[in-house]
Amino acid sequence: MPLRPPAGFISAFFDPLNNPNAPTIGTATAGDATASVTFTAPTNVGGSAISSYSALSTPGGLVGTAASSPISVTGLTNGTAYTFAVWATNTYGPSAYSAASGSVTAGTFAYFFGGTTSGAVVNTIDYVNIDSTGNAIDFGDITYLTSKAAACSSSTRGIVAGGSSAGTRTNAISYITFATAGNTTSFGTLITANESFGSLSNSTRGVIAGGEVGTTNVIQYVTIATTGNATDFGDLLAGQYWMAGCASTTRGIFGGGTTGTKSNVIQYITIATTGNATDFGDLTVARSGLGGASNATRGVFGGGSSASAVVNVIDYITIASTGNATDFGDLITTTTDFTAAANLTRALFAGGELSGGSRTNVISYITIASTGNATDFGDLTQARNDLAGCSSAHGGL
């Protein structure tokens, strides 16, 4: 008489002497409608070699299969929490299920790099699920302390570049792989050591512009999937720094900044084509230290420091159509020297310096398609300003 099969499987031919043992569950890491599930293969493979491993989602019953760890499970619903169990299969059939993984929530994620706390420059990397409100979680560390860095990303990899610590500027570029929490890995170098840039990206190319050293007008770029040094792209309209960047899949926008005086200038580039920036229009308020983010069609610029005060203004533009910015609403507080990141529906504004000079850990958000004031999202792991941000959404915009 055949033995009873393991839970979840119906097979009259299950044989514990020939079927593999269950894998040992590892960790699940969520992404945009997907999750990556790690496991350790069983020592006892049964009567034949294991041919595949599979992971089952709860809820939903979605299955992913791979020849080894990790397993990708796709088709998840963003904003929904999932656990996963893994099993192994050989020619005699499946093993029992592993234990369930920890719970993770599918979605698109924002990543916040470095910055300055009340006491020191830090190398912290935080992340949050853009699709659900809540406090930031520690992701890992930049391998060097940095403040006023640039960040850009594809849907799988985040880049952090340049910045300074204790008065020493760096030209280092490093990266994280979103699916695997941990510290950064060396990517290459910028053209020069610098800080206080504007940055943006599409799904393949990251662009970094300006900088405080020499008030440069240099625009440079990297191919995000390929490690290596930055390459000259062209020039901004003027040498400037402390500007904000955002992008569609084709066009990159830089807004505000300072050229010695606060700027209201918005300028643009075609990301796939090297060349100089072109005038786009004007912000509603000339300012530097603002945050920029976008969905596929609309860019938003929030906060910053004008000639007379820190402001809470949020402007928006339609990226495909040149012209002046329009009032969108207000940030929760007057904030400067912070960062922003977005997915197709939401833009997050994180950290910064308040009008009284104190640093904040507040993350707020807006729905990009609907004008209105920002809403509280949660908190960073540390109150800090001069941090950099990017996201895993729509090509890392």
Are 148 and 189 members of one domain?
Answer: yes
Are 130 and 149 members of one domain?
Answer: yes
pLDDT value at residue 13: 58
For residue range 342-380, list pLDDT tens digits in order: 999 999 999 999 998 999 999 999 999 999 999 999 999
327 in any annotated domain: yes
Are 129 and 270 members of one domain?
Answer: yes
Q: How far is CA 377 from CA 112, 306, 347, in A?
A: 14, 25, 11
pLDDT value at residue 327: 98
pLDDT under 50: residue ranges of the chain = 1-5, 7-8, 10, 395-396
Are 47 and 120 members of one domain?
Answer: no
Are 100 and 113 members of one domain?
Answer: no
Residue 345 exposed, middle or buried by CB count within 10 Å (0-12, 13-18, 19+): middle
CATH number, domain at 244? 2.120.10.80
Among 105, 138, 166, residue at a domain's last position: 105
pLDDT value at residue 2: 35
40 in any annotated domain: yes
Compute how many other C-beta atoms are within 10 angstroms of the C-beta atom of residue 371: 14
Are 378 and 277 members of one domain?
Answer: yes
- Joined together, the tokens standing for residue 94 give 């499946």
8 in any annotated domain: no
Are 130 and 195 members of one domain?
Answer: yes
pLDDT value at residue 394: 61
73 in any annotated domain: yes
* Alpha-carbon span 87 to 92, nearest angstrom: 13
* Alpha-carbon span 47 to 39, nearest angstrom: 21
Q: Which of 205, 209, 231, 230 is nearest to 219 (CA)?
A: 209
Among 65, 81, 105, residue at a domain's last position: 105
State which residues form the domain around 47. 24-105
183 in any annotated domain: yes
Are 154 and 121 members of one domain?
Answer: yes
pLDDT value at residue 5: 44
Q: How far is CA 144 from the centre of its chain?
A: 19
Give the number of domains in the chain: 2
Are 79 and 162 members of one domain?
Answer: no
9 in any annotated domain: no
325 in any annotated domain: yes
pTM to 2 decimal places: 0.86
pLDDT value at residue 181: 87
Among 90, 105, 120, residue at a domain's last position: 105
CATH number, domain at 79? 2.60.40.10
3-state secondary structure of 302: strand
Are 75 and 187 members of one domain?
Answer: no
Are 195 and 97 members of one domain?
Answer: no
Are 168 and 67 members of one domain?
Answer: no
18 in any annotated domain: no
pLDDT value at residue 349: 98
Residue 348 in contact with residue 362, Cβ under 8 Å? no
